[in-house]
Amino acid sequence: MIKFPFAQWLPFVNPVNFDFHCHSIVSDGLLPPEAVAQRAAANGVDLWALTDHDDLGGLAVARAAAAEVGIGFVNGVEISIEWKEIPIHIVGLGFDAADPVLGAGLDELRNGRIERAKRMGAALEAIGIPGVYEGALCFVTNPSLVSRAHFARYLVSIGIARDVPGVFQNYLSPGKPGYVDHRWATLADAVGWIHGAGGVAVVAHPGRYKMSGGDMRKFLDDFKDLGGQGIEVTCGSHSPDHMLHFARLARRYALHASRGSDFHGLIESYADLGKLPPLPEDLKPVWRLLR
């Protein structure tokens, strides 16, 4: 067999446009999975993962839609965890979506979301905004996946704030009246479920977490000890400084680098599908770990 001698350099000459973080109506995105696939293809994405929060219900449709529009597809999920009481998201990639342990773990996470949403409704009622749980449900597109984003959309619709970021700033972020503590999965649960299903675990948007440099290093030590392999370096919520910082941490911790827009819909996203800057060339892209 003749091997193309420069094959190993191809990704550098022509970087693969991969986007491994986005949402559909199966969680708190605004578009159905097939429309997300079409937008990814139109934006020049070569390799795409749908990563709905705590739910795999969109993957089969997404895979079929990706084949239809001629782009590569990888199973994805964004799992909600807490580490030292800090809410963190772990993206899983390339796993078997039929794995029963992963499925059962995600079922339990979604059940916990309903009870949490009721407490959020009660907390908002206590500051004089009644009916928000019921109102938020009108914005829910998957009955088993209620997110703060749905609360935010309802609160905008009744004029509590001008836009979704405004609601988060004043009502739904930690320390604000509509925020309630919640027990999510542990880091060991999420990484274990992903690995058990044959996938790769990736730290989502590390620049978003309110943690000190020391805590981030401890977190990455724990993540590595559990066998975690990836970190988002380029993502929709990262500034250029975040990108440089997490590129350094990817090198220091020998983590593969991921790239994901965290696209939720046309009007609610910081970045569009496939439109992020490329990864620094010396980093190993996480798609290389996927079979």
Residues of this chain that interact with Mn ion (CB under 5 A) are: 28, 78, 89, 204, 262
For ligand AMP, which residue of 28, 52, 55, 232 counts as binding (CB under 6 A)? Answer: 28
Nearer to ligand AMP, 27 or 41 (CB): 27
- For position 261 contacting ligand AMP by CB under 6 A, the verdict is no
Say which entry of Mn ion, ligand AMP, none residue 168 contacts (CB below 5 to 8 A, set by partner kind): ligand AMP
Nearer to ligand AMP, 182 or 284 (CB): 182
Say which entry of Mn ion, ligand AMP, none residue 164 contacts (CB below 5 to 8 A, set by partner kind): ligand AMP
- For position 168 contacting ligand AMP by CB under 6 A, the verdict is yes
Pairing of strands 72-83, 86-93: antiparallel
- For position 90 contacting ligand AMP by CB under 6 A, the verdict is no
- For position 145 contacting ligand AMP by CB under 6 A, the verdict is no
- For position 164 contacting ligand AMP by CB under 6 A, the verdict is yes
Angle between helices 100-126 and 187-196 (to 10 degrees): 150
Nearer to ligand AMP, 208 or 251 (CB): 208
Name the minimum Å distance from CB 56 to ligand AMP: 16
Say which entry of Mn ion, ligand AMP, none residue 269 contacts (CB below 5 to 8 A, set by partner kind): none
Nearer to Mn ion, 204 or 247 (CB): 204
- For position 271 contacting ligand AMP by CB under 6 A, the verdict is no
Say which entry of ligand AMP, Mn ion, none residue 202 contacts (CB below 5 to 8 A, set by partner kind): none
Say which entry of Mn ion, ligand AMP, none residue 80 contacts (CB below 5 to 8 A, set by partner kind): ligand AMP
Output the CA angle 132-133-135, nearest 5 degrees: 60
- For position 80 contacting ligand AMP by CB under 6 A, the verdict is yes
